[in-house]
Homo-oligomer: A and B are copies of this chain.
């Protein structure tokens, strides 16, 4: 007599899963990537182990977790694991009036990405300095900084993935708010040096999103595709409002199809900032994300 396996439970809703969890080796997981921010409380070692147990073939890394372990050990760990490294998060914050500290920090991030074998450094370009209202000026400083960083990154085999952030972060995190605007900026540089990061959370509302995804594809500019959902109500910290795919209002499948039609057949990285998800068991988080990948992304 078999012992009944308890039905898996979705994180963070606590509801019973509506599809079985795909098992390691399931071909539907071939392009599924976990961004480490989704299991932020886990160490890099724990995240790597979690991916291997669940059959997740690819992992996006964060600087803070790499720094905790040390760069050399982190690079050795991910190399040994056999996981593909999809991205390194993150560089940017280029809008300060003194460019020197940000340039130094971004050069270090590029060096780290190269050491880790990360093909893309995700760039969150920065918001307005405190008290500042000069949006065009801040955007100009981003362009100037990229002119320095793009060749530095390209020489090291790292691509800068400019990430337009949702316009609600324009003042404090990114003066780059639409995919069209990110492409305008990326196109000032060679495609192998500067591409764009397309995150469903940031772009889903944009009436031009499908057109701009097609444009990004034509130019060979899609460096990274990330998914999560928009859930209501927004939490008190807008940064933590992202939902598990399938729990909110974003038609993630349509966006995945658009990105794929534009020629991006690489990994699909799930990146979720959400306090309830971070409080859950990371194995349950990964399993839920894998189920949602099968149910709502593919």
Contacts and interface: CB of A to CB of B under 8 A. Distances in A.
Interface of A: 128, 132-135, 139, 166-168, 170-172, 177-178, 180-181, 184, 204-207, 230, 232-236, 238, 248-251
B234 A207 contact: no
Contacts of A133: 249-251
A168 B248 CA distance: 14
Q: Count this chain's copies in the assembly.
A: 2
Contacts of A251: 133-135
A174 to B, nearest CB: 10
B132 A234 contact: no
A274 to B, nearest CB: 16
Contacts of A135: 204-205, 251
A167 B205 contact: yes
Nearest to A185: B207
Nearest to A168: B168
Contacts of A250: 133
A183 to B, nearest CB: 11
B207 A171 contact: no
A12 to B, nearest CB: 18
Contacts of A184: 207
A205 B232 contact: no
21 contacts: A128-B249, A132-B249, A133-B249, A133-B250, A135-B204, A135-B251, A139-B207, A166-B167, A168-B238, A170-B204, A170-B230, A171-B205, A171-B232, A171-B248, A172-B232, A177-B207, A178-B207, A181-B207, A234-B238, A235-B236, A238-B238
A79 B298 CA distance: 60
Contact of A167 (B167, B233, B238, B249): B167
